[in-house]
Amino acid sequence: MSFVKGLRYNLRGFWTALRNGKLLLWGLFRFFFVLIITVLTAGLILAHHQEILSALWTRPESIWVLWLWHLLSWALSLVLVALSILFSYLISQILFSVLIMDLMSRITERMTTGSVQEGSAMSLPTLFVFLIRQEIPRALIPVALSLGLMLVGWFTPLAPVLVPLSSALAIVFLAWDNTDLTPARRALPFRKRWRFLMRSLLFHLGFGLPFLIPGLNLLFLAFAPVGATLYYLEEAGATDRDKASQQNVSP
C-alpha cells in the first residue's frame, strides 16, 4: 500500500541518517537552525501578545464578557505560535535549509548509487539561485493554500472538513518538497514532476504523516530528504526510466 510505503521510507531515511555521520551532522544542524528561529520568532510574537489582542478587542469591563476575552486570548496565542513556526520554516527553507536539503540528498544519492546525477554542472552561486527558484513555489504556494483552507474552516461551518483537508494538503506538499529534490536537480520539467506528485498522493500522505507529531515534526522534517531521495532512486526514478524505455522501443 502506497500510504504505508511512504511512512516506511520516512522512518527508513531517519534511521539511515542516524547511522551516517555526515547526514546526522547536517540534519541536526538544520534542526537546531529551524528550532532557534522558531523560538526567537515565537518569543517575539508572544512578548507583544497583549498589544496584538488589545488591537483586536479591548479588554471588556463586564465580567460576563470577560471570559470570552480570555478564551480569545488563549486562541490567539495558539494561532500566533503556529504562525511563528510556519514563518520560521519558510524563512529557513528559502534562505538556508534548501542548501542543506540538497546536500543531504546528494550525500544519500552518492551513498546509494556511487555518483550524483545532475542536469548540468553549476557554480555555487548559480546553484543557490536555482534552488531558491525551485523552493519558492514548492514552499509558498502549498502553505498559502493550506492556510487559506484552515482560515475558511475556522470561520465557516465547513471546519470539520476543511481543517483536516488543509492538514493533509500541508503534509503532502511538505513531503513533495523532499521527494522533488532529486528530479529537480536532474532538471526534469516541472510538468513531469507535478505529474509524479499527482500519481503518488497516497505515498506522500504517508511520508508526511510524521510531520504532524508535535515536537518531533521538526526532527522528522530535518532528516526527510534522506528517505525521499532513497524513494526516488529506488522506485519513482526506476518507474520513470521504465516508462521512457517502453516509449523508445514502441513502434
Q: Is the CB of residue 220 less than 8 Å from the CB of residue 213?
A: yes
Q: Report d(CA 149, CA 157) in Å as an integer.
A: 12
Q: Where are the domains of the chain?
A: 2-226
Query: Which residues have CB under 8 Å from 166's CB, separation 6+?
Result: 145, 146, 147, 148, 149, 150, 153
pLDDT in tens, 82-106: 666 667 766 776 666 778 888 999 9
pLDDT tier for residue 57 given thresholds of 50, 70 and 90: low
Residue range 101-147, pLDDT digits in tens: 889 999 999 999 998 887 766 666 776 677 667 766 666 676 677 67
Grid coordinates of 227: 528517505
In angstroms, the CA 167 to CA 212 distance is: 8
Tell me the pLDDT band of 244, cut-offs 50, 70 and 90. Answer: very low
b/e 190-222 (16+ beta carbons within 10 angstroms → b): eeebeebbeebbebbbbbbbbbeeeeebbbbbb
Instruction: Output DSSP code: residue 59.
Output: P
Cα-based torsion angle of the residue sequence 96, 99, 101, 105 in order, rounded to the nearest 10 degrees? -170
Report pLDDT digits (tens) over 169-217: 878 888 998 998 898 888 787 788 888 888 999 999 999 999 888 778 8
User: What's the CA gap between 193 and 176, in Å, rounded?
Assistant: 9
Residue 19 pLDDT level (bands cut at 50, 70, 90): very high
C-alpha cell read off for 65: 464578557
